[in-house]
Amino acid sequence: MESRHLSLPKQRNYEYGYQHAYKLACDQLTKIGAIDQLCLRSGTQYQVIDSQKIMLLKYLNQTYQITLSNMDISFTDSKQEVPISDKILMLHYLTSAKGTPISNKLIAYKELPEGANYFPTFAKRAIKPLLDHFGKEPHLLLDVAHKLGGDKAEYGDVAVTINAFTYVPITLVMWRGDEEFAPEGSILFDSTISDYLSAYDINVLCETIAWRLVKFSKGA
């Protein structure tokens, strides 16, 4: 049975759920006094521009500006609105970051705290879209992953590593299907990821990555 914690809110409560989560995350960030230390722990740049305290955060191959006075999160190179789900992930990353160095030891989702309980939801929302759209031609994953800053990795038949945040590398692995066996896929993480994101946030992040890759593959 899927965890109720991971269920999507009902449509009529969908926007409210995100707005509430965003407000809580903003409140948590404003309570952190030593912003310079937070930036060190998260690999984020800290600047003061026209008396405004600003953090510059890299997320999925783009740079975002977080203005602390009003908790505004915006693209540095576009006036387009940042999706609220992305804003929440960024804030959760910032407030959770412990500054633990990357270990270069990979683990699977089931090895995360509570990961075994949440895995059915994770597989459905993050792995299945990759298999549905890239399973028969996994090489196409390489063609689109660079748009998220992905680099080729040496796992499976095809693999890419995408640095979602400075200290959060995500490795997508695909095994090509044939007449006997269906395509298979996995998503691997550095063993330190729980020092930066919860299992739930990791689920949302990987689902975001999967669907953006699918979107890129369709030329959108």
Q: What is the mean pLDDT of residues 93-98?
A: 97
What is the distance between the alpha carbons of residues 53 and 38, in angstroms, rounded to a whole number? 13
pTM (2 d.p.)? 0.89
Asked if the model's pLDDT at residue 30 lies above 50, the reply is yes
**Using one digit for the tens of pLDDT, what is the confidence trace for 155-172?**
999 999 999 999 999 999
Q: What is the mean pLDDT of residues 94-114?
A: 96
Delineate the domains of the chain, giving CATH numbers in brackets. Answer: 8-96 (no CATH), 106-217 (3.30.310)
**Using one digit for the tens of pLDDT, what is the confidence trace for 129-157?**
999 999 989 999 998 999 999 999 999 99
**Residue 184 CA from chain centroid, whole number:** 21
The pLDDT, as a whole number, for residue 219 is 78
- 104: tokens are 């270069």
The pLDDT, as a whole number, for residue 16 is 60
What is the distance between the alpha carbons of residues 57 and 93, in angstroms, rounded to a whole number? 10
